[in-house]
């Protein structure tokens, strides 16, 4: 299978797990996936902001995505990963339970979020895709990372 420079039929995404759900973010916004490293706590930040890391000379804020979604604290273990995302010329790391898949999702299979989704999480969901027996939740990163961009 050959890859084309631009594929308008498919969206290439990184799949990651959080609790028992699978979420996806576009590969174009992912700078890297890192193993857990030491996080320096920053005072007077929201509870989901775990602190900052020094990643190859760049100070990068780190948020606990599970905490951000109101799903409790992430339990850190060998499969825990930090996904480095670039959004509006800013790098932010998000802690996820695991990240181990890259998929091409047919653009036509992405549906808007269901109406029954309630609470704060609905602002974070850009859509859902059904691929075989999997339900993948596409995140709206601008909303998820909004307080970070506003000035941590």
**DSSP assignments along 105-146, one per residue:** EEGGGEEPPPTT--STHHHHEEEEEEETTEEEEEE-HHHHTH
Tokens 């890192």 correspond to: 34
Specify the 3-state DSSP secondary structure of 77. Answer: coil
Contact 61, 68 (CB under 8 A): no
Confidence check: pLDDT of 88 > 90: no
Q: Enter the tokens of residue 52.
A: 């900052």
**Average of per-residue pLDDT values in the chain:** 85
Q: pLDDT, tens digit, for every residue of 97-132?
A: 999 899 999 988 888 876 655 554 567 888 899 888
Q: Decide: pTM greater than 0.75.
A: yes
């Amino acid at each position: 299978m050959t890859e084309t420079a631009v594929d308008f039929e498919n969206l290439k995404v990184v799949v990651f797990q959080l609790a028992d759900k699978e979420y996806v973010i576009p590969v174009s916004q992912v700078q890297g996936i890192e193993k857990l490293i030491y996080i320096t706590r920053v005072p007077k930040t929201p509870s989901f902001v775990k602190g900052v890391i020094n990643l190859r000379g760049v100070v990068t804020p780190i948020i606990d995505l599970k905490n951000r979604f109101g799903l409790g604290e992430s339990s850190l273990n060998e499969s825990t990963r930090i996904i480095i995302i670039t959004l509006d010329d800013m790098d932010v790391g998000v802690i996820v339970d695991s990240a181990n898949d890259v998929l091409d999702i047919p653009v036509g299979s992405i549906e808007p979020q269901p109406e029954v989704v309630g609470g704060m999480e609905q602002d974070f969901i850009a859509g859902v895709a059904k691929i075989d027996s999997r339900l993948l939740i596409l995140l709206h990163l601008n909303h998820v990372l909004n307080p970070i961009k506003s000035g941590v």
